[in-house]
Structure 1
Amino acid sequence: MNLPNILTLSRIVAIPVIIFLFLTGNPVAQWFAFALYVIAAITDFFDGALARRMNAVSPLGRMLDPIADKLLVGALLIAFAFAGSFTTGLTWAAIAIMMREIAVSGLREHLGSEGVTVHVTAIAKYKTMTQLIALGAMLVVPLVPGLELAAHGLVWLAAVLTVYTGVEYFMKAWPHLSGAKV
């Protein structure tokens, strides 16, 4: 266990607390949810950067980091849908995000078992950053008047980037999936 892995695990542990605080409907609790969320989102940057700087990249960290991201994003999407924070259109955007995240995880697992490494692309890193910013904005919509339109736009941007990167991964993986000689 090293500091980068502890940061990643702390992000996972923070998820139910963030969701609980958000769903209380209490503005003070919701601000605490947002603050904890910001800290969790920042750990997404620092766990990987620290692992590389400390030469502490580990199989556990490589496995947990994308899982922590997907758990954070997925739990918040479900919480927003449950709380009625999403319009019908945003619910479809959330479904598209979840479908891509699960499909790409399955793709990585399958290709990994075939000895093929699927590297994270630069645009996929922007996708994750956009998702985190969009969900942070959604957390404060009940607290900051006038933010709703911008937050909804960010969710749509995140959905478009998410679907785009999913298609990109599957297109790059197609030779491995189609049985063509690679």
Structure 2
Amino acid sequence: MNTLNSRRLPARPLALPNILTYARIAAVPVVVGLLVWQSIFSGGLWLRWVALAVFIGAGVTDFFDGYFARIWGQQSSLGRMLDPIADKLLVAASLLILAAGSTIRGWTLLAAVIILCREILVSGLREYLAELQVSVPVTRLAKWKTGAQMVAIGFLIAGEAGDRILPGVSQAGILLLWLSAVLTLYTGYDYMRAGLRYVIEE
């Protein structure tokens, strides 16, 4: 963990990286709406493919907003705030609607709960440590965890529609979700241990 420096980044609300982040946030109700239409209101399976395309597009913006911010020197306070929020909104909303539509069910609900609880725990930890002027760097493993979550959710969004083309798509999504949950537990424990160590030392 690092003490935050006093240099304040500009907001840059109209910078391309931030516009990409806005797009990722805007994709959340679109994905949810499409999945509600398909799974709850018995719409056609083609809706899952549209939802998957929107979800993949949103995931791609997660890479490019950070990439452009770095290479063009457009890091901003607004982007720093919104980027993790956009990721968590996309993951949490997708998991909840997949559970509501019974794509995620039974014991697999536990994996979704683990992921959601970890995100809440780490967000609370970050908020507390921010008041102490301490930053929580994102580890490489945490980035892999996010990637695994996105891939798992993508498979689950395809769901029944994917199974009709390639049997086992839903099962692969469930296995990847459990892998994500294991990584989530480990990285959550790692963050919590580091945070508590800092609090105790203080």
Do Structure 1 and Structure 2 share a fold, with TM-score over 0.5? yes
Structure 1 counterpart of 2:197, from 171, 175, 178? 175
Query: Which runs of no fewer than 5 residues in structure 2 stay unpaired?
Result: 1-13, 39-43
User: TM-score by structure 2 length?
Assistant: 0.87
Q: How many residues align?
A: 180
Amino acid at match of 1:91: L
- Output the CA distance in 1 between the equivalents of 2:159 and 2:47: 14
Deviates most, 143-152 or 8-17? 143-152
The one of the two structures with greater contact order (alpha-carbon pairs below 8 A, sep at least 6) is 2
Deviations 1:127-169 (A, max 9, x none): 1111100000100111122212211100001111111100000
Structure 1 counterpart of 2:37, from 19, 24, 28? 24
Deviations 1:74-127 (A, max 9, x none): 000100110011122111111110000011001001101101110000000001
- Output the CA distance in 2 between the equivalents of 1:98 and 1:6: 26
Correspondence for 1:89: 107
Correspondence for 2:181: 159
Which structure is larger by alpha-carbon Rg, 1 or 2? Answer: 2
Query: Which runs of no fewer than 5 residues in structure 1 stay unpaired?
Result: none
Given that 1:77 and 1:94 are in contact with CA atoms closer than 8 Å, whether structure 2 keeps it comes out as: yes
Provide the aligned C-alpha RMSD in A: 0.9
- Output the CA distance in 2 between the equivalents of 1:22 and 1:53: 36
Structure 1 counterpart of 2:24, from 2, 5, 11? 11
Correspondence for 1:109: 127
Dislocated runs of 4+, deviation >6 Å = none
- Output the CA distance in 1 between the equivalents of 2:45 and 2:197: 51
Identity across aligned pairs (percent)?
43
- Output the CA distance in 2 between the equivalents of 1:77 and 1:36: 15
Correspondence for 1:135: 153
Describe the SS at the equivalent of 2:162. Answer: coil
User: TM-score by structure 1 length?
Assistant: 0.96
